[in-house]
Amino acid sequence: MTKESSIVYRTVSDVRGPLLIVKHTHNVGYNEVVKIRSPSGEMLTGTVLETGRGKAVIQVFEGTRGLDADKTAVRFTGDTLKLPVSTEILGRVLDGSGNPLDKGPPLTAEDHRDINGSPINPYARQYPRQPIQTGLSVIDGLNTLVRGQKLPIFSGSGLPHNRIAAQIVRQAEIPGEKSDFAIVFAAMGITATEAQFFMNSFEETGALEHTALFLNLANDPAIERIITPRAALTAAEYLAYEADLHVLVILTDMTNYAEALREISAARSEVPGRRGYPCYLYTDFSMIYERAGRIRGRKGTVTQMPILSMPQDDMTHPIPDLSGYITEGQMIVARDLHRRGIYPPIDPGPSLSRLMKEGIGKGMTRFDHKELQAQLYYGYSEGRDFRDLVTVVGAEALTDRDQKYLAFADRFEQEFINQGDHENRSFEETLDLGWNLLSEFPERELKRCDTKTIGWARERGVYAYS
Amino acid sequence: MKPDIGYIENIAGPVIKAGGLPSARMYEVVRVGKEQLIGEVIEVGEHFCIIQCYEETSGIAPGEPVAATGDTLSVELGPGLLGAIYDGLQRPLPELKEISGDFISRGLTVEGLDKEKKWKFTPVVKVGANVVPGDIIGEVPETGIITSKIMIPRGIEGEIVEIVAKGEHTVVETICKVKDMHNTVHEVIMMQKTPVRIGRAFKERVAFDTPLLTGQRVIDTFMPLAKGGTGGIPGGFGTGKTVTLHQFAKWADAQVVVYVGCGERGNEMTEALEEWPKLNDPQSGKPLMDRTVLIANTSNMPVAAREASIYVGVTIAEYFRDQGFDVALMADSTSRWAEALREISGRLGQLPSEEGYPAYLGSRLAQFYERGGRVKPLGSDDRLGSITICGAVSPPGGDFSEPVTQATLRIVKVFWALDKDLAARRFFPAINVLTSYSLYHITLEQWHKENLGPDWPELVRDSLALLQKDQELREIVQLVGPDALPESERAVLEAARMIKEDFLTQSALHEIDTYCPIGKTYRMLRTIVKFSRQMAAAVKLGVSVRRILEFSVLDSIARMKTIPWDSYEGTIDAIDDRIDREFQSLFTEPDGSGVLMPGVVE
């Protein structure tokens, strides 16, 4: 790496959008950090996007307002972007690049880590298996979250994704285990009100002192959003793998992140992919999402919960679509459930937790969990199909069996999915509730469950068809 | 010859422009920068050549050296491949972990095969024998399942003048000497080195005649794959591509499985690594990993290596094919590979065609799938080997009209269409039977008739017809309600429901249901079709469907899935008898006098 370059260049040739082009450079490294002094004396930061002999293209995080080709001074630091990390970062409020925003001292550093991280060797990973009890039945019962998972919330404008995320943060625990946890919160382009909502919620539960906040708000420079999740995850990896903490990372809103990426890509006149987003959006997302996980022989874990808003609730939009291909499932916040007053309005149909299969069952949650989950899914989707049918032909046209499914779908939404903001249900409560709702059906309708399991539920008194 | 040393001119992500390499050839491997990162020449110009770098390029600066190696990207083939897990450049991941810890750093060089390990070599030819390339000279019991064959490499032909006795040798020790017609003596070692971008030579292609049984009922029945065939499995996220491919890798009756995780999730590879060594192959009873080679280039690993990983995988598959094995190769996902092509192409400023993909996308995909097939490998004997290729496709937004899906469908002969609606209902495997197809039905008909029963084609046709009719009727039901249907059509709906619920759905998580031997698949289908035929006949005679649905045998039919693999015959025989008895009872007085009882007709 080129360490000797303390030369200051005043050879800016072009300023274009968020990009700065410097001529006559010598031995500038790719991805190197650049310090820029604007004509008015302001200090800005950027990184090198492309470097050749005698030319470097720089992206400026704070934006290029006020820069010129004449007086602007550029210094290449010879190093890639690094974040000072230590456990002292907990309880601090930082800007989107990791500089303190609160009145506290500069960050102490036990180490400086490259914010881009390195890929975890798949051979070193350990498959995530410990279920997290969020206290929300629709998640715990149907799509259980697992420690070390990356499970995004796909939402839309006007939907209560922040409330859901805050409730999960408040309630998440591994039953019967008191362990050390931390929260890393990365805000990308959300409003100050939204950020305040989260801070209040963390404060209320006393979680604030275990939280590191990286805030790039709506009025902060857009390009800085490219480094915000990376800086946050660098801190999270340190806390998990060096300080043995179980870290929950909330990234909100990934849509704003992708838009910043698109801005850079457009300014560089790159060949666009779908909807103008760069062709490498998938690879870029994966460099963020894949930084969740669990490593053999290390105690801590990184669990990610990215929040992204789907433009026009469209799940096929490139941002949710590419995210879904990388993350281990998704929680879909549905507008129709929300309109009907159901909270949390998470639609079980398209929602999925890929890692739940290993995290539930005997010794994890309860032995009947898998069968019960399959049966509840079957019942709810049957009921929803009949709901469509009833609008056409009327309820009288349905058989008794079909009527039962119709009624089940309604009760399932009202009693199982629906719950209060401060209602914290244990795994046991959630599963028993599921059996309770199934009591409407005779045993032979419960094809997804083993007869022995049904017998067990009957004995327990939670399944009571007669 | 001393290799050329050039210099870096320009860097943009994984694409590097280098000067001072006048002798650089296309696809030559080069070492980039002071850290000696691995790269490959992908464009040659008058003064400069373009290199795609297989590792992260942060911090690399113009002016740093670029060294030509004279080699093209190659893999090492020989004993030691089975059970291994490699990255996209055939570097073993466990060794990388030893060198660089839990995170992969760059500039690491690790060879694909262990050069120290000794293998038990048994010669099968004697001094004086004449050999041609591809001839087997010895065997190495590599794992509990597979005995590797050691072959004469290409370019060596003549008389064996020396061969070692049975004993332990490393892959680089000389085990055999061959004197050619010019009296030159060639030394043969167990390891071969093969470039990855061109297929290994073989004598000729051979017609398919055997199915690759996957143990998945819906596939073995409705869209079977032939050994040596190609199949594509497109589906949006969450529809179960990876689970299906994992199921193939676990249960397919191939002798060797090469699984390429190309640009997908790290945890999925970890799952395979943790689970497969514990699972036993149903054919041999030995751990599954003993027949498997894993290639893991996850999405956050460098994008250019993702492009190479597919070729590394298929070259390893060809090596086992040449030994005379039936190999199955799974690529998850070819879309990520195509995106790697797009990313590199975009950085080179090539003119994009559809959706930004390069114009050569279709031909590259075709070249890859063409490396599958059933062949007579080189050698003087007539052994046969095959590679069956299954590629996952991840269409953006689940839209099958996008270029990668379309280009794939033009090549592959089996199409498994994953359906988002089925997945949302947790109907797994979420394969839509009506839109999927296999072009191997006729090729395989003979095998099915001989090994299962002469009625197999008819059973498949009948059940497919029921499902098709069901779809049409359900559209009507959506409009007018189920009451408007006559009894005979209600019987069709019920029969289709049985096929779907009791036959097509199969749980990958259930210890028995996860794999279904083809014999059991046949018996289950026969029983369900038998029931549906008797139901149709009874309904014609005036029995109501509701009455038939009260049969207690239906519960047993629904639980056929979980009958153990080795004892299904008797249980299903008993179910067949009960079906006959229960239908009989419709037309019999309770005292058994055998008179048609009109009372049951509602």
Q: Could you tell me the pLDDT band of residue B602, with boundaries at 50, 70 and 90?
A: very low
- Token couple for A249: 């990372």
From the number of C-beta atoms within 10 Å of its C-beta (0-12, 13-18, 19+), residue B105 rates as: middle
Partners of residue B101 in chain A, C-beta under 8 Å: 121, 124
Instruction: Assess whether pLDDT exceeds 70 at residue A17.
Output: yes
Structure tokens belonging to residue A81? 């972007």
Which is nearest to B42 in space by CA: B338, B458, B341?
B341
Q: CB-based burial of residue A391 (10 Å sphere; 0-12 exposed, 13-18 middle, 19+ buried)?
A: exposed
DSSP string computed for B358-379 = -TTHHHHHHHHHHT-EEEEESS
pLDDT at A406 over 80: yes
pLDDT per residue over A381-399, tens digit each? 999 988 988 888 788 878 8
Residue of chain A minimizing CA distance to B358 = A271
Identify the pLDDT of residue A2: 43
In the predicted model, what is the mean pLDDT of chain B?
A: 91
Task: Please give the average per-residue pLDDT across A374-381, as a whole number.
Answer: 93
Reference B387, options B453, B267, B293, B300; nearest CA is B293
**Span B446-470, mean pLDDT?**
96
For residue B311, give how far its alpha carbon lies from the nearest alpha carbon of chain A (Å): 20
User: Is B299 touching A (CB cutoff 8 A)?
Assistant: yes
Query: Does A32 reach chain B within 8 Å, measured CB to CB?
Result: yes
- Kindly indicate the confidence band of residue B593, based on its pLDDT and cuts at 50, 70 and 90: low
Answer whether residue B599 shows pLDDT above 50. no
CA–CA min distance B76, chain A (Å): 21
Would you list the domain boundaries of chain B? 5-72, 119-192, 202-439, 456-585
> Strand, helix or coil at A76?
strand
A236 three-state secondary structure: helix
Question: Nearest chain A Cα to B264, which residue?
Answer: A326
pLDDT at A5 over 70: no
pLDDT digits (tens, 9 = 90+) for A149-168: 999 999 999 999 999 999 99
Would the pLDDT of B483 be above 90?
Answer: no
Confidence of residue B302 (pLDDT cuts 50, 70, 90): confident
The reported pLDDT for the residue numbered B2 is 58
Which of residues 436 through 495 in chain B touch A, CB cutoff 8 A?
A: 477-483
The CA distance from B434 to the nearest CA of chain A, in Å, is 20
pLDDT at residue number B596 = 52
Write the CATH number of the domain with boundaries B202-439. 3.40.50.300
CATH architecture of B456-585: Orthogonal Bundle (1.10)
What mean pLDDT comes out for the span A270-287? 88
* Mean pLDDT in residue range A301-308: 96
Q: What is the pLDDT of residue A447?
A: 84
For B296, the closest chain A residue by CA position comes to A122
Q: How far is Cα B146 from Cα B123, in angstroms, rounded to an integer? A: 16
A122 touches chain B (CB under 8 A): yes
Closest to A175 in 3D by CA, of A366, A305, A432: A366
Q: Which two tokens stand for residue A178?
A: 């008191």
Contact B298 A286 (CB under 8 A): yes
Smallest Cβ–Cβ distance between B58 and the set A116, A329, A377 belongs to A116
Chain A contact present for B595, CB below 8 A: no
> Which of the pair, B187 or A1, is modelled with greater confidence?
B187
CATH code assigned to B119-192: 2.40.50.100
Whole-Å CA distances, A466 to A434, A449, A458: 17, 17, 10
- What share of chain A in percent tops pLDDT 90? 73
- Which residues pair with residue A187 across a beta bridge? A215, A252
Give the SS3 label for residue B142.
coil
User: What pTM, to 2 d.p., does this model score?
Assistant: 0.92
Helix, strand, coil percentages, rounded to 5, for chain A: 35, 25, 40
Which of A 425-464 lie inside 8 A of B, CB atoms? 444, 447
Residue A383 CA to residue A404 CA, distance in Å, equals 8
Mean pLDDT over B421-433 rounds to 90
pLDDT (tens digit per residue) in B553-578:
998 999 899 999 999 999 999 999 99
Model confidence at B344, in pLDDT bands (50, 70, 90)?
confident
> Which one of 2.120.10.30, 2.40.30.20, 3.90.1170.40, 2.40.110.10 gives the CATH number of domain B5-72?
2.40.30.20
For A339-374, letters b (16+ CB in 10 Å) and e give eeebbbbbbbbbbbbbbbbbbbbeebbbebbbbbbb
- Kind plus residue range of the DSSP H or E element containing A291: none
Mind listing the domains of chain A with CATH numbers?
Answer: 12-80 (2.40.10.170), 83-358 (3.40.50.12240), 369-460 (no CATH)
**Is B113 an 8 Å CB contact of chain A?**
no
Show residues of chain A in contact with B339, CB under 8 Å: 279, 282-283
ipTM value: 0.88
- Residue B13's pLDDT band, with cuts at 50, 70 and 90, is confident
Q: Looking at this protein, which amino acid is placed at residue B156? A: I
The full 3-state SS of B435-447, as one line of letters, equals CCEECCHHHHHHH
Predicted local confidence at residue A3, as pLDDT: 46
Q: A80 and chain B: CB distance < 8 Å anywhere?
A: yes
